[in-house]
Structure 1
């Protein structure tokens, strides 16, 4: 879903395109679906996460933060730890993959933050 015009103005920066704006029909359902896409499939087995979307957002935030830290650690250490086991082009490709994954996870972390706020009832007001 692309944000245009009025809809774009109703969500904070970093709002995930997959999640409808707060107040739109089924927006919470789209938020829950998106949050579940960020966590391991086994999280769906926990009834408490289905019952309380704000708790699911907390679990997603923790999971995304751990992944982001792992990507950062991998980027810092892959060259040293695997330089004698992989060709230089593989190391460079790994570093590029870590960079892309880090950027994806950083965006997801921001998305989780703003979606969690909306699930808690916070409303975003654009600054002039």
Structure 2
């Protein structure tokens, strides 16, 4: 039975399904900067691509943390309070999105490295 764990990206077929690695590559490239598509090593070595994707998402998470920590002090002189608060809420939303993407990318990387998941009763 093909099993994908909670947090598995909907765009990627479960491990060992037909063409699952192709769907993984496509999804991983979608979550990376567009320039990554031009690197032959990343397209040929899917586990390397997965590692690049995980590190990219983690860097984006760090950027969100920095944005949140600086938003009020950096923006108060250039934007109204309601705009600053909207920016803070945007950072929170992006942080939550990236948390889910990081989990999904980690699961795909583990599966590409050979880990398989079993259904729990």
Fold shared by both chains (TM-score > 0.5): yes
| Distance (Å, rounded) in 2 between the aligned partners of 1:45 and 1:60 | 14
Gap runs ≥5 in structure 2: none
Q: How does 1:105-116 map to 2 (within 5 A)?
A: 105-116=98-109
Which residue of the other structure, out of 64, 74, 78, is the alignment partner of 2:71? 78
Alpha-carbon displacement from aligned partner over 1:2-21 (angstroms, at most 9, x marks no partner): xxxx76xx111210111111
Given the two structures, how large is their TM-score scaled by the length of structure 2? 0.94
TM-score by length of 1: 0.89
Q: What's the counterpart of residue 40 of structure 1?
A: 33
User: After TM superposition, which residue ranges in structure 1, 4 or more long, deviate above 2 angstroms?
Assistant: 125-128
Q: What are the equivalent positions in structure 2 for 1:1-128 lying under 5 Å apart?
A: 10-127=3-120
Q: Which runs of 5+ in 1 are unaligned?
A: 1-5
